[in-house]
Structure 1
């Protein structure tokens, strides 16, 4: 399933609005110039196993690629995703 994912730069996160005031997110920090630290991913329990976390992670990684940023994978889900998808290895700091 495809979700609309918004980049909320003000809150330093990528968010999928799920209705009923629910949302999923991947949060980041900017520890230094040119670096995006993906710190945590949250998906409400009812949406787990739907691929939503992967979509959020891919959106953040695509943003990093488009903006020539290196990535720190502090979030275990991001670390696992990058390990399974070698095409993203070049983004790691």
Structure 2
């Protein structure tokens, strides 16, 4: 299953802007960037109709520095590009905000290696 980006927009949730990245593949997946809780989230429905969440977490390590800490995808949704979608949203956030990042998460490291955009690699702190 592959996902293609088709739109980006900003939602306002209280005083905290939440950026959403909408993608489609027989439906819509939306990555929400929750700046207050320092995470990117995709809400998913499993076969029983229950809500599950894939999450990429980060921490602020300085005024213009973050640490991309972890990516967790529910087991039933692994291998479908959800972690890549979260990683792309996080990396695009770094580019848009001119941030530098230490990458602690093994999956995000893999994503950057497999998507060798200079805009991404220039933002990674070794």
TM normalised by structure 2 equals 0.70
Structure (1 or 2) with the greater strand fraction:
2
Q: Could you tell me how far apart the structure 2 residues matched to 1:8 and 1:17 are?
A: 13
Q: After TM superposition, give the deviation of residue 21 of structure 1 in Å.
A: 2.6
Is residue 15 from structure 1 mapped to residue 47 from structure 2 by the alignment?
no
Q: 3-state DSSP class of the match of 1:59?
A: helix
Q: Could you tell me how far apart the structure 2 residues matched to 1:84 and 1:55 are?
A: 13
Structure (1 or 2) with the greater helix fraction:
1
Q: 3-state DSSP class of the match of 2:108?
A: helix
Is residue 4 from structure 1 mapped to residue 58 from structure 2 by the alignment?
no
Q: Unpaired segments of 5 or more residues in structure 2?
A: 4-22, 24-28
Q: Could you tell me how far apart the structure 2 residues matched to 1:83 and 1:12 are?
A: 23
Q: Unpaired segments of 5 or more residues in structure 1?
A: none
Q: After TM superposition, give the deviation of residue 66 of structure 1 in Å.
A: 0.3
Kindly name which structure, 1 or 2, has the bigger radius of gyration based on alpha carbons: 2
Q: 1:39 aligns with which of 61, 69, 79?
A: 69
Q: How many residues align?
A: 93
Compute the RMSD of aligned alpha carbons. 1.0
Q: 3-state DSSP class of the match of 2:58?
A: strand
Q: Could you tell me how far apart the structure 1 residues matched to 2:92 and 2:66 are?
A: 12
Q: Could you tell me how far apart the structure 2 residues matched to 1:4 and 1:25 are?
A: 12
